Amino acid sequence: MSTAGSASAEPAVADVCAVTDERLAELSGLASDGGQWFAVNDSDDGRLLIQVMDRNCAITRTITVPTNPLDVEDLALAPDGTLWAADTGDNGKSRETVALHAVSPDGSARLYRLTYPDGKHDAEALLVDRDGIAHIVTKETIGSPLVYRPVSGLTEGVPTPMEQVARVPISGTDTPGGPLQNSVVTRLVTGGAMSRDGQVAALRTYTDVYLFPVPDGDLARALESDPVRVPLAGEPQGEAIAFDPDGTLLSASEFGNGGGTSSAVRAVQGAAALAVPPSPTTTTDAPAAGNDVSAAPPASSDSRSAWPVVGGGVVALVLIGALVRRSRRRKP
């Protein structure tokens, strides 16, 4: 089974180092500046902790943020060094708002709350486009993953409404791995990353990564195109993904919930180059009668306000219920 319309590539996936520190037993989000990695654990202990790792998977220091998130699921690094933590997990579909935490290297942070336009969603993937706009990708058990972004500039203290801007065309695969052996599990989106130049977006599931070229900067449109799929076989609960600045793709898995003692950070060299934009197509056919494009109204412009750069059926529901690992104690 494979994703309809997608191409498949199988480059080498190599282990880089082993994560053994219990502080990252539930490693859920990853980012890289090329020299060091930044990671968040999927846990609720009353603080937001971002672990700084060397390239041997050893934690060298901890950035401690004095805020109490509910369920941080992903991490993105902006060009200015700001780390954006996606506090968007909602296994029980109970949150009135989700949140983004903009964290400086010294641990100071700004909190931005967001609301969906169409009810509650569980989401584990954050993408930040080259204009600094955050895109949240949901974890859907039925139907396609949905993409949301803020309709205006982020404001502290006042929730910002979001709009749905895309549906992602991925489906189940036969790649082994994940917490359960079922095709539903293989299409649940668990993490996201953007290349340093903003030209490639990556979304991962428990078992595969999907690479989308973004040649013109329009991330929403890119996420509705056919991606290149790269299998990440054998990860017990793969939720973290990042790009090194040179285009190397990094992936990592939790290990704590399966009774394991370690997991590996893995690398796919040159992954960003695998996402090749489609060749442009042209036509000289005259427009059909009654479809004169010159008479059509102009396309509406993107009116998003500038804001801080931030850098089936019952079986599926039973499966996702089995993946709920804990109840979050309180909303941030």
Confidence band (pLDDT; 50, 70, 90) for 260? Answer: confident
Higher-confidence residue of 285 and 266: namely: 266
For residue 106, name the pLDDT band (cuts at 50, 70, 90): confident
Please give the helix or strand (H or E) that residue 63 lies within, else none: strand 59-65
Task: Choose between 303 and 196: higher pLDDT.
Answer: 196
How high is the pLDDT of residue 108?
94
Residue burial 293-315, b: 16+ Cβ < 10 Å; e: rest: eeeeeeeeeeeeeebbbbbeeee
pLDDT of amino acid 280: 60
Please compute the mean of the pLDDT values over residues 120-125 and round it to a whole number.
98
Output the pLDDT for position 311: 40
pLDDT at 45: 73
Of the chain, the percentage scoring pLDDT greater than 70 comes to 81
Average pLDDT over residues 60-80: 93
Give the end-to-end CA distance of the chain in Å, rounded to a whole number.
Answer: 40
282-300, pLDDT tens digit by residue? 544 544 443 333 333 333 3
Contacts of 255 (CB under 8 A, 6+ apart): 19, 25, 27, 236, 237, 261, 262, 263
Is pLDDT above 60 for 56? yes
Predicted confidence at residue 276, as pLDDT, reads: 83
Asked if 195 contacts 272 with a C-beta cutoff of 8 angstroms, the reply is yes
Per-residue pLDDT reduced to its tens digit, 6-39: 677 789 999 999 999 999 999 999 999 999 999 9
Q: How confident is the model at residue 42 (pLDDT cuts 50, 70, 90)?
A: confident
Q: What three-state secondary structure class fits 316?
A: helix
Split at pLDDT 50, 70, 90, the class of 327 is very low
Q: Given pLDDT bands bounded at 50, 70 and 90, which one contains residue 88?
A: very high
Q: What is the pLDDT of residue 190?
A: 98
Query: Would you say residue 169 has pLDDT above 50?
Result: yes
Q: Which of 307, 331, 310, 302 is nearest to 155 (CA)?
A: 307
Please give the residue that has the higher pLDDT: either 166 or 286: 166
Q: Which of 126, 20, 113 is nearest to 73 (CA)?
A: 126
